[in-house]
Structure 1
Amino acid sequence: MRAFMSSHIGKKRSRNPTNMESLMQGMLAKQDSFLNNNLTGGGIYEQPFIDNENLQPLEDNDNDMSNAVEDDDDDVIFIKEQPVYLASPAVPASDNYTSTTSKKFKKQRTISLPQLPHAKLLYQGRREARGQNNDELLHLTGSSSRTLDGNRALSLRVVYSASPDDISERIYSSVSPPGSSTASASSDSVSSKEGMATATGASLNGSNPHKRSLRRLSAPRLAARLVGKKPRTKKRENFKTDKDGHYIYRQDDVFGGGRFLVKGLLGQGTFGKVLKCSDSGDFATSNPFKLNSNMVAVKVIRAIDRYREAAKTELRVLQAIRENDITGQYQCLMLQECFEYRHHVCIVTDLLGKSVYDFMCSNGVARFPGSHVQAMAKQLIRSVCFLHDLGIIHTDLKPENVVLCDESYVEKDLPPSVIRGLSTRRREASGGRRKLLKNPEIKVIDFGSAVFHKEYHPPVISTRHYRAPEIVLGLGWSFPCDVWSIACVLVELVTGESLYPTHENLEHMAMMQRVNGEPFPPKIVGKMFYKSSHNLGNLPSDLNSTVVKHFDKKTLSLQWPEKNKRGDYLTKDKSIRRVMDNCDRLDFLITSKVKADYGDWLSIDWNISPEKNWALIKSRILSERKTSGTTAGDLNKETFLFWYWFIDLCRKMFEFDPTKRITAREALDHKWFNLGILDEGITSFGEL
């Protein structure tokens, strides 16, 4: 296990199952004691984990940690000590994401995050917050000329089909293994402003890629030519394209100069297809950071000019990520190489596992435990923080684009009453069991819609359910739209359901107001009217017909449900029910789902302080005990605080006005990440 559950487990691990079971029981007993502030005798912290008077998480004290008595570590459970590599003091972290010169040990106190190495909880990028001001909100469209210039500077190398008639293997890779001379030539060939690499390489050693040369012959072909024998050739390639520019998928097709063998279809869309391929090239075995030895994912873009142009922007984004995070510590999809093959742009990346969305669909209970939600949230926000510091906006964050690094899980049988309530599809997919991940480590993928901050901004981006209000209203959008999408993802992980199950603008806006518990601010509605009337910026083509007409120009309020002049409802009953039944104010919505784990005593109202919330909960618990004689189950103060501050973070991420929305940098420092919770996600970590 990369994370030590306690220091004595890291020193010695028993192989006896009976001993391990008793040890685990002892650990959980101590953890429960620790959570309830009853740890006595030789604890490593002078202060309790939670300030019971103020109901606030205590701040970390590095001096207290440094003075901790090592002999007492065995008394604390899920407190881990791991090496942390910090950037060299001589090189600012904002200028170098990969320098790792000084080594330091630090204990992580947060109980909910022992599943992750401590290094994956840190972020040492640029310190400035990424937001957008009022001027950008009104006018931001980005520069299309910057995008075109950047794409023109990108030089794609061409890979030709392997053929018995061609004695030259004309295979060129755009990204070579780190440290190779090809990599140096590639990175130096073209550079862009602001330090973003925009090229994936020029012709090898400056030579003409179409010119045949003996020195470009492979060793077997050169030897065969010298002795006058016919060289052994690779399997003939059978790669076909339809009239719409799509690659026609067939199992066991060979392409890329005989290098890639198609093993399966991972996905497809208007952009093209993503293939699971076996890679026979040298890069597959020489790259130390590659997850699978010879299996890769190859994104084959449609052989249509506009899709090729979009693919070039994606390549520049991936190249910027790779150059600033060569080891992949910020958990973004890593580019291996790219090339052009028969007019298709082909992007080769690591082959990763199942998406979070697919895992939820195959689970008897789609909701994740709170500890897993917190671990995924920390990683997701950290990755987005890294992207924003590079000037990159992902624009399409959703559970489908977050993948699991480790798909292993433990299963628990669900009660018959729960199984009966499952849909037929979910019951068959899950087998009537709940799956709990052993390791909640994730990666962010799919940068096909990502843009650089100062480049062209399309009028509409993001998948509908995760689309920020400024996009729907036709305002300028920037980094804050990613923060809104993250909040939608986090709520979905907690509830197991999409927060905004709709496909049209009016319903979506009505749902947003219901979840936020307030109407759209007049400020941003007024800007929408101004932009629409003056035709400013890149406005969605349906803005007037599906958005503007639903707002009152005098009150600047959304008219929903719609009524005619006689007062009759124009909005269909089905639409009204969809909004009212699926959406509620966020604090009520979250607690209604979490009650399934902690009982009906848990309730949170974000309009009153945490102290008053907890006082009301305690009064209900006492009342229940007096009337029925039952206990309050697993609910305790720490559990309440965990969910209270989770809702607080989501509320700040769901701010309507993007200029006031919390930034990814600020979200990383939110007090929720200083709180912990003991649940099935913790107890299943590393379980065999």
Structure 2
Amino acid sequence: MRSFMSSHIGRKRNRNTSSDYNNNNNNNTDVEHIKSTTQLESLVQGMLAKQDSILNENLSDRLMYDQQPFIDNENLQQPVDENENDTSNAAEEDDDDVIFVKEQPVYLASPTVPGGDPTENNDGHYISTTSKKFKKQRTISLPQLPHARLLYQSGDHKELRGQNNDELLHLTGSSSRTLDGNRALSLRVVHSTSPDDVMSTERFYSSVSPTESAVVSGGSSDSSSSNSVKGNGLGIEGATASGASLNGGSNPHKRTLHRLSAPKLAARLVGKKPKTKKRENFKTDKDGHYIYRQEDVFGGGRFVVKGLLGQGTFGKVLKCTDSGDFIMDNNPFKLDTNLVAVKVIRAIDRYREAAKTELRVLQAIRENDIPGQYQCLMLQECFEYRNHVCIVTDLLGRSVYDFMCSNGVARLPGSHVQAMAKQLIRSVCFLHDLGIIHTDLKPENVVLCDEGYVERDLPPSLVRSLSARRRDASGGKRKILTNPEIKVIDFGSAVFHKEYHPPVISTRHYRAPEIVLGLGWSFPCDVWSIACVLVELVTGESLYPTHENLEHMAMMQRVNGEPFPPKIVGKMFYKASHNLGNAPADLNATVVKHFDKKTFALQWPEKNKRGDYLTKDRSIRRVMDNCDRLDLLISNKIKADYGDWLSIDWNLSPERNWALIKSRILSERRTTGTTAGDLNKETFLFWYWFIDLCRKMFEFDPTKRITAKEALDHKWFNLGILDEGITSFGEL
């Protein structure tokens, strides 16, 4: 590419130097020629450096984001022949041989450059006001996101990010580590208050930051215990952080705080009557669940329930207004009421213990990512209220899953899939470097930072084919996000690598094979889940729509196009027979018995000794109709956008695949006389390498599966695609 670009600029340089020579008939001709040549060579080097920066790093400089490159829509979709002779007609080469990187955002009109050369702007980028055919072009779609959302640098943590063979048998983690870590976490207790005493002194005092606390108490803001999770205004106190810091000493402010409630103290300082809040009416049922009612007040009168965001066996997530009091420069003041999410955990011991692990995970994330640049849910504070652990976090938008359900076409544009993939993998890289395994990655746990979208009309025939629920939710329109930025949420099932590993994790559809087989699991299970999410974003449907182990394993084999490796099946038999580690209770009944002990092959469909099928017909149809080899499955789904000519076979090289596609396109043109779809080689390569990445992430053997860091460096992220996701970016 460098030589190709140099040759084009070299021809331009020859034309310029020739003109200089003809216009200067004096003894300084050679000097002027050398000077002109030197300047142009400097320009060439600058352009090449900028080109390399874009192609190698997927990202142009900030100053280049606002440039408006010309895009030739007329010829954009024409197939490009890599073997075409670049040394044909010289006049045509001057017009055609342009290296062009389509930066984002995309502008569909040719920009004008007043007072400049019509073929070159001041930054050394070639533009044109006439139609051109680009023989070499490459789209980079990721710069539509902020720079920080695309890059990842490993931290100082040296935790494992892969999995070794020994861990397949023996990795269970240390339960004592988990218990010790949870014991070191002491939650601040918030009590109910009457209308006359809206907020306890303890809640008011502990809501301030360490620095502000030191101002009032006269103490230091530094934490004195390395095991404590106190110290950042989260309302969490470690085992060594007790109420003693509030009860002793000679500071007059401290004694005054004990004699007056927070609102009364604030009113006395500012000379206003204290505001009375509603009586708290928070209730719990016999199973330990909070009974949801809108406008309930809890947390010392601070939180008012405005909605139910979600619920499950763990408890409920509430949308609340937070009217917290804070103190600054010795003067209490009230912040404007803001919305937060409060996760109210069931008032049962085992769920309280799990919540403490979640709190330690959230604390580790906050301590290592103060600005929140790695796009994980950020903890604000936590407390205990009426035996419920309450976790306060930022209130975020709706999930990717909800957006897909409310869309006339659930599939997302390829550019948005790529942008979300890079962010999701980047967040998981950060977690794995901290030694944290999320274990429950799915579209429901990926939320949108910006819910803005544009609508596109759908053909009436497609609208009629939609289910009544989807038609009502979407209004018969296709919705395209204007910003694909996301965040990862729900760390309720997350674990630290060296701590206790439950035998079963993950939601069924996103569960890795080593978990189904009852083997030890580690960081690679997150990578498998990410692959399931990416395929779902592309197809609009769950890849593994089942709730049974046998069906799930049969589907896995169909998607991967190969049986389970004897290595991991053999380890499953060995572990089950020797009762090693922790295994699912139903492992023998639902998994082990379905494998042949001699060949290690999965026996599906299941048959009896007479050869009669025991597997029900509907189960067979569910596997055969919903699953296919991944490359064929993806090809069939995206044909709706690019035509029946697009067919990808992962057993063939990209060149061979493209040659077959071109032959089908040419055959279609000869027989029908029409232009065959909107497919070009650039688009084909985008999807070819997407399938290649997913294939590596779907490796059965977790010890061979690509890591999150390796996935982030995959070739697919060097490619781009021009689609509705790009042209809709920032549009409202």
Q: How would you bin the TM-score normalised by the shorter chain?
A: 0.7 to 0.9
What's the C-alpha RMSD, in Å, of the aligned pairs? Answer: 3.6
- Which amino acid in the other structure matches residue 313 of structure 2? T
Deviation at 1:163, TM superposition (A): 2.0
The one-letter amino acid paired with 1:130 is R
Shift of 1:228: 14
Among candidates 303, 310, 313, match of residue 260 of structure 1:
303
Partner-residue secondary structure (3-state), 1:155: strand
Inter-partner Cα distance in structure 2 for 1:229 and 1:428: 51
- Of the three residues 648, 653, 661, the one matched with 1:609 is 653
Deviations 1:512-562 (A, max 9, x none): 000000000000000000110111111000000000000000000100001
TM-score (normalised: structure 2): 0.78
Paired with 1:198 and 1:143, the residues of 2 have a C-alpha distance of 27
TM-superposed CA distance for 1:233, in Å, is 3.4
Deviations along 1:428-454, one digit per CA (max 9) or x if unpaired, are: 111110000000000000000000000
Instruction: Give the CA deviation at 1:507.
Output: 0.1
Q: Does 1:130 align with 2:161?
A: yes
- Check if 1:169 corresponds to 2:198: no
Match of 2:246 in 1: 207
1:638 aligns to what?
A: 682
Partner of 1:588, secondary structure, is helix
Deviations 1:51-90 (A, max 9, x none): xxxxxxxxxxxxxxxxx9852347499xxxxxxxxxxxxx
Asked if the contact 2:543–2:627 (Cα under 8 Å) also holds between the matched residues in 1, the reply is: yes
1:160-211 Cα shifts (integer Å, max 9, x gaps): 1222465853316878558655798585544289xx99993234672359xx
Cα deviations across residues 258-304 of structure 1 (Å, max 9, x unaligned)? 11111111111111110000001146999xxxxx9710000000111
1:152 to 180, 183, 191: 183
1:238 is matched with 281
Q: Name the CA shift for 1:487/1:176 in 2 (closer, same or farther; >3 Å).
A: farther
The 1:72–1:513 alpha-carbon spacing in structure 2 relative to 1, beyond 3 Å, is: same
TM-superposed CA distance for 1:126, in Å, is: 3.5
Map 1:580-591; keep pairs closer than 5 Å.
Answer: 580-591=624-635
Q: How far, CA to CA, are the matches of 1:284 and 1:533 in structure 2?
A: 62
- Asked if residue 475 in structure 1 is aligned to residue 519 in structure 2, the reply is yes
Distance 1:381 1:284 in 2: 40
Q: Is the 8 A contact 2:283 2:290 kept in 1?
A: yes
What amino acid sits opposite 1:215 in the alignment?
A: L
Tell me, in whole angstroms, the C-alpha distance in 2 between the residues paired with 1:262 and 1:547: 45
Unaligned runs of 5+ in 2: 1-58, 87-91, 103-119, 130-137, 249-253, 330-335
Of 355, 361, 365 in structure 1, the residue corresponding to residue 405 of structure 2 is: 361
Give the C-alpha shift of residue 344 in structure 1: 0.6
SS in 2 for 1:262: strand
Question: How far apart, in 1, do the equivalents of 2:622 and 2:77 lie?
Answer: 44
Aligned residues between the structures? 617
Question: Residue 394 in 1 paired to residue 425 in 2?
Answer: no
Give the structure 2 partner of residue 97 of structure 1.
Answer: none
2:142 maps to amino acid: L
Provide the rounded CA distance (Å) in 2 between the counterparts of 1:285 and 1:660. 54
Name the CA distance, whole Å, in 1 between partners of 2:205 and 2:359: 13
SS in 1 for 2:645: coil
Contact 2:200/2:262 (8 A) holds in 1: no
Q: Which residue of 1 aligns with 2:618?
A: 574
Moved more, 318-327 or 228-237: 228-237
The 1:264/1:228 distance shift into structure 2, 3 A limit, reads: closer
Query: For residues 597 and 143 of structure 2, what CA distance do their matches in structure 1 show?
Result: 53
Instruction: State the TM-score, normalizing by the size of structure 1.
Output: 0.83
Once the two structures are TM-superposed, the CA of residue 10 in structure 1 deviates from its matched residue by 3.3
SS at structure 1 position matched to 2:518: coil
Instruction: State how far apart, in whole Å, the 2-side matches of 1:452 and 1:621 are.
Output: 52
Distance (whole Å) between structure 1 residues aligned to residue 591 and residue 206 of structure 2: 44
Closer, same or farther in 2 for the Cα pair 1:667/1:490, shift >3 Å? same
Residue of structure 2 in register with 1:71 after alignment: 123
1:663-682 matches, within 5 Å, as 663-682=707-726
Q: Which residue among 543, 546, 556 is the counterpart of 2:600?
A: 556
Q: Within 2, Cα distance between the matches of 1:350 and 1:631? A: 50
Partners in 1 of 2:719 and 2:636 — Cα distance?
21
CA contact (8 A) 1:401 1:444 kept: yes
Cα distance, 1:169–1:303 mapped onto 2, change above 3 Å? same
CA distance in 2, matches of 1:413, 1:113: 26
Judge conservation of contact 2:77–2:678 (CA < 8 Å) in 1: no
SS of equivalent to 2:292: coil
Structure 2 counterparts to residues 336-351 of structure 1, below 5 A: 336-351=380-395
Structure 2 CA distance for aligned equivalents of residues 117 and 411 of structure 1: 24
Point out the structure with max Rg over C-alpha: 2
In 1, are the aligned partners of 2:441 and 2:510 still within 8 Å (CA)?
yes
Change (3 A) 1:226 1:409: closer
1:481 and 1:352 map into 2 onto residues whose CA distance is: 26
Task: Note if contact 1:591-1:603 (Cα within 8 Å) is conserved in structure 2.
Answer: yes
How many angstroms apart in 2 are the aligned matches of 1:34 and 1:600?
A: 16
Equivalents in 1 of 2:727, 2:414: separation in Å?
12
Q: Distance in 2 between matches of 1:441 and 1:360?
A: 15
CA contact (8 A) 2:121 2:127 kept: no
Q: Secondary structure at the match of 1:411?
A: strand
Q: Distance in 2 between matches of 1:42 and 1:188?
A: 70
Structure 2 distance, partners of 1:426, 1:652, is: 33
- Per-residue CA deviation, residues 136-179 of structure 1 (Å, 9 max, x unaligned), is 11100000000000000001111112224658533168785586
The reply to whether residue 494 of structure 1 matches residue 570 of structure 2 is no
Contact 1:192 1:198 in 2 (8 A): no
Asked if structure 2 preserves the Cα contact closer than 8 Å seen for 1:364 and 1:431, the reply is: yes
Structure 1 residue runs without a partner (length 5+): 12-22, 51-67, 78-108, 287-291
Change (3 A) 1:163 1:198: closer
Residues in 2 aligned to 1:182 and 1:338: alpha-carbon distance in whole angstroms: 20
1:436 is paired with a residue whose SS is strand
SS in 2 for 1:10: coil
- Give the SS at the match of 1:592: helix
The one-letter amino acid paired with 2:684 is: F
- Quote the Cα distance in structure 2 between the aligned partners of 1:429 and 1:252: 27
- SS across alignment from 2:430: helix
Residues 331 and 442 in structure 1, CA contact (< 8 A), matched pair in contact too: yes
Is the CA contact (8 Å cut-off) linking 1:516 and 1:651 kept in structure 2? yes
Partner secondary structure for residue 373 of structure 2? coil
8 A contact 1:313–1:451 mirrored in 2: yes
The answer as to 2:337 corresponding to 1:281 is: no
CA deviation vs aligned residue, 1:33-57 (integer Å, no higher than 9, x gap) = 99969999899x996769xxxxxxx
Task: Provide the residue aligned with 2:731 in structure 1.
Answer: 687
Deviation per residue, 1:556-601 (Å, 9 max, x gap): 0100001111111110000000000000000000000010000011
